[in-house]
């Protein structure tokens, strides 16, 4: 009797132990445990991992991938996104994307070290050319979204919509284009977290070359590089959600090329939200606000930012309200069209704002600061760092004036 009791207890204990998560292997040539990524996803159980061999995945079952509400991991075996590629082969007449999350997936659904390229969204729902997230919250880590686009709508590379709240950590979004809002990334009635991401070389025919945000879900964009993007307005980024914060980001070499009056925002266009601890440098606007522009708001917050060497109108401009932006502990200096423009009065000397040469280590490429910079905490008017980069050198590269350049060619 005692043995029977012990055996029964052991059986119950074994039955109570959950089965180990499985790993399913998939290769571009169809070998492995399943012939396609989607076939592996369909067969997998929650908690499983789908491991992708290096190479380029194409065709049906290897694009428009839908997790179906399961919390799974899809990751490259090499942990190198440059070696593991999903080529969607999307076009205007045959739209295809990489991943579509729309069934309430949580952060337990993850994509790791995978490239999605050549996605395209068109037709009745032209959103998220590479990745479309609607009402779900997956996590992407060290992924690349490349050369994706939309005819119109939202998010040439990535769209977050309808209550979604995905996380992108250390990802690259580049070479994407949108016919409407957000060439690289678009957020609408949703949220997003972008941490240590690079959003570079994207374009939008409308607003938000790198990023378009109209969320209201507390989006966080932190420690990102937003560079080389173009749009009519908000070349680098356009923020619209009142609780969206763009923090510790380098916003560089973006352009707002629309001919419209006011606004512009070569680096950032604020219709809400806040910039905190950002370096906004070398951007351009066709109209005004080469660095930062605000419109349709009365209290956009710009805190501890360094806004320098921007082109096209003033560095900081407010189109529709007098002093519509509240600047605190900022350095606004060397902007070609002046420091403040349109309805924005000079903020120098107010709330610890200054207009002093930030002493970049290299004003062309390296936006960390010389030890004597007025933007470093030990030197700044507010005792805190202005901008996204700390000390990087002891002697900055000397700024070259136009007169000095001409002198090089004199006999």
Say if residues 165 and 138 touch (Cβ distance below 8 Å): no
Domain presence at residue 249: yes
Q: Is the dihedral of CA 281, 283, 289, 293 positive or negative?
A: negative
- Domain extent, residue 204, equals 76-403
Residue 233 lies in a domain: yes
As a 3-state breakdown, the chain gives helix, strand, coil percent values, each rounded to 5, of: 5, 35, 60
In a domain, 40, yes or no: no
pLDDT reported for residue 381: 95
CB count within 10 Å of CB 42 equals: 14
Residue 57 lies in a domain: no
How many independent structural domains does the chain possess? 1
Q: What is the mean pLDDT of residues 168-186?
A: 96
Beta strands at 360-362 and 366-370: parallel, antiparallel or unpaired = antiparallel
Cα dihedral 42, 44, 46, 51, rounded to 10, equals -110
**pLDDT tens digits, 48-101:** 999 999 999 999 999 999 999 999 999 999 999 999 999 999 999 999 999 999
Average pLDDT (9-25) is 59
In whole angstroms, what is the distance from residue 379 CA to residue 375 CA? 6
Question: Range with the lowest mean pLDDT among 53-57, 151-155, 222-226, 269-273?
Answer: 269-273
H or E stretch covering 145: strand 144-146
The tens digit of pLDDT for each residue in 302-342 reads 999 999 999 988 999 987 766 678 999 999 999 999 999 88
Q: For residue 148, tell me if it sits in a domain.
A: yes
CATH of the domain at 226: 2.160.20
Q: Read off the pLDDT of residues 24-54 as tens digits, 9 standing for 90 and up.
A: 999 999 999 999 999 999 999 999 999 999 9
Give the sign of the dihedral formed by CA 311, CA 197, CA 358, CA 374.
positive
Instruction: Locate 95 and state its tokens.
Output: 């739209």
pLDDT digits (tens, 9 = 90+) for 115-144: 999 999 998 889 999 999 999 999 999 999
Q: Is residue 51 part of a domain?
A: no
Q: Mean pLDDT highest for which of 170-174, 264-268, 271-275, 293-297?
A: 170-174
Residue 382: Cβ-neighbour burial (10 angstroms; 0-12, 13-18, 19+)? middle
Q: How many angstroms separate the CA atoms of 172 and 191, rounded?
A: 18
pLDDT above 90 as % of the chain? 77
CA–CA distance, 255 with 277 (Å, rounded to integer): 21
Contacts of 52 (CB under 8 A, 6+ apart): 26, 27, 37, 74, 75, 76, 77, 84, 114
- Residue 351: name the closest of 281, 293, 304 by CA: 304
Q: What is the pLDDT of residue 324?
A: 73
* Residue 10 placed within a domain: no
pTM for the predicted model, two decimal places: 0.91
User: Would residue 366 count as lying in a domain?
Assistant: yes
């Amino acid at each position: 009797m005692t043995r029977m009791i012990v055996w029964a207890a052991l059986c119950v204990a074994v039955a109570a132990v959950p089965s180990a998560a499985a790993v399913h292997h998939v290769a571009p040539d169809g070998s492995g445990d399943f012939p396609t990524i989607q076939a592996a996803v369909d067969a997998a159980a929650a908690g499983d991992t789908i491991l992708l061999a290096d190479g380029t995945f194409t065709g049906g079952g290897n694009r428009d991938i839908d997790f179906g509400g399961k919390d799974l991991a899809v990751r490259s075996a090499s942990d190198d996104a440059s070696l593991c590629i999903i080529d969607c082969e999307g076009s205007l007449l045959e739209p295809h994307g990489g991943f579509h999350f729309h069934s309430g997936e949580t952060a337990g659904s993850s994509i790791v070290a995978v490239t999605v390229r050549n996605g395209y969204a068109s037709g009745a729902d032209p959103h998220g050319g590479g990745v479309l997230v609607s009402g779900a919250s997956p996590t992407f880590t060290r992924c690349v979204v490349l050369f994706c686009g939309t005819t119109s709508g939202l998010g040439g590379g990535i769209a977050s919509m309808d209550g979604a709240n995905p996380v992108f950590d250390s990802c690259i979004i580049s070479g994407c284009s949108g016919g409407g809002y957000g060439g690289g990334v678009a957020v609408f009635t949703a949220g997003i977290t972008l941490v240590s991401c690079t959003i570079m070389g994207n374009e939008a025919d409308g607003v938000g070359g790198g990023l378009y945000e109209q969320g209201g879900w507390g989006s966080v964009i932190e420690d990102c590089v937003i560079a080389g993007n173009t749009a009519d307005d908000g070349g680098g980024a356009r923020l619209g959600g009142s609780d969206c914060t763009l923090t510790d980001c380098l916003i560089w070499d973006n352009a707002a090329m629309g001919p419209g009056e006011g606004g512009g925002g070569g680096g950032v266009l604020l219709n809400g939200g806040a910039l905190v601890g950002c370096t906004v440098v070398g951007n351009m606007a066709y109209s005004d606000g080469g660095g930062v522009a605000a419109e349709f708001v009365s209290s956009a917050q710009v805190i501890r930012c360094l806004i320098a060497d921007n082109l096209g109108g003033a560095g900081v401009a407010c189109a529709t309200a007098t002093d519509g932006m509240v600047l605190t502990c900022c350095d606004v200096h060397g902007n070609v069209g002046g420091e403040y423009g349109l309805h924005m009065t000079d903020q120098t000397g107010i709330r610890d704002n200054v207009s002093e040469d930030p002493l970049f280590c290299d004003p062309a490429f390296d936006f960390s600061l010389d030890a004597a910079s007025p933007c470093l905490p030990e030197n700044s008017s507010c005792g805190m760092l202005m901008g996204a980069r700390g000390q990087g050198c002891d002697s900055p590269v000397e700024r070259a004036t136009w007169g000095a350049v001409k002198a090089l060619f004199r006999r």
